[in-house]
Amino acid sequence: GEPVKKEDIFVAVKTCRKFHDDRIPVVKQTWEREAALIEYYSDYADMSIPTIDLGIPNTDRGHCGKTFAILERFLNHTSPRTPWLVIVDDDTLISVFRLRKLLSCYDPNEPVFLGERYGYGLGTGGYSYITGGGGMVFSRIAVQKLLASKCRCYSMDAPDDMVLGMCFSGLGIPITHSSLFHQARPMDYPKDYLSHQIPVSFHKHWNIDPVKVYFTWLAPNTEESHNGKKVGYNREDL
């Protein structure tokens, strides 16, 4: 089908005060312009970004409390006509343009939970989950069903993606895997694996130039006009 409208996707970026100065500028230099609806959620309200303080302290482990607060806010403070929510980390690089095309394949009137699928204890009755770093996509109805249930974080610093997988498994809502989302950097995957893809996301800024990675792998064109100049990068180097 036709790509979903920009206004049909609400983007929630998870961040914290210690990363405001180095990670958020990367988002603003790269994919923020593709998002019509975007908010940054932090443990500190910084009007220059701006960020929204959810009243959840930052933790060094999981961010379950923050993620469930974002889900509540999406349901209660955004237009009910916005059918899709995507939650990303502040060091996630994503192509909203390609995500809009991908979401044309799915019915927002069904409970959809989409991203890169991982598994926990699957051989012994475990569950699948969408790994958070590559981006987690929810239909509004999926968020409604989740929050109507009693499934919540067992601790505020529990791993949010795994808790969500456990909750959706208990609700009988399947995980939808897409190989176009990536929990790691391009260099962490075999070249042949990526050569057959038009990826939607990558994650982590370790030992890379994330702006180069975005314009090489995720920008609507591999040659993108950036600050008035055409830039192109060799994927072999990234």
The alpha helices in the chain, defined as continuous H runs, are: 24-29, 64-77, 96-103, 140-148, 160-171, 191-195, 210-213
Q: What is the mean pLDDT of residues 39-56?
A: 96
Q: Which of 138, 140, 132, 115 is nearest to 200 (CA)?
A: 115
Cβ neighbors of 137 (< 8 A, separation 6 or more) are 84, 85, 86, 99, 103, 112, 113, 114, 115, 130
Q: What is the pTM of this model?
A: 0.92
- In this structure, the number of other CB atoms found within 10 A of the CB of residue 192 comes to 7
Residue 147 maps to a domain: yes
Residue 237 scores a pLDDT above 90: no
Query: How many structural domains does the chain have?
Result: 1
Residue 224 lies in a domain: no
In this structure, the number of other CB atoms found within 10 A of the CB of residue 35 comes to 20
From CA 84, how far away is CA 9, in angstroms rounded? Answer: 5
238 in a structural domain: no
Residue 200 lies in a domain: yes
Whether 197 is covered by a domain: the verdict is yes
| Number of other residues whose CB lies within 10 A of the CB of residue 135 | 28
Q: Does residue 189 lie within any of the structural domains?
A: yes
* Residue 169's CATH number: 3.90.550.50
Q: What is the per-residue pLDDT across 192-201, written as a single tens digit (0 to 9) for each?
A: 999 999 999 9
List pLDDT tens digits, range 139-190.
999 999 999 999 999 999 999 999 999 999 999 999 999 999 999 999 999 9
In a domain, 95, yes or no: yes
Rounded CA separation 142/158 (Å): 21
209-227 in b/e form (b: 16+ CB < 10 A) is: ebbebbbbbbbeeeebeee
Return d(Cα 106, Cα 148) in angstroms, integer: 22
Q: Is residue 214 part of a domain?
A: yes
Domain enclosing residue 86, as ranges: 6-218
Q: Is the pLDDT of residue 100 over 90?
A: yes
Query: What backbone phi and psi angles, to 5 degrees, belong to 160?
Result: -60, -40
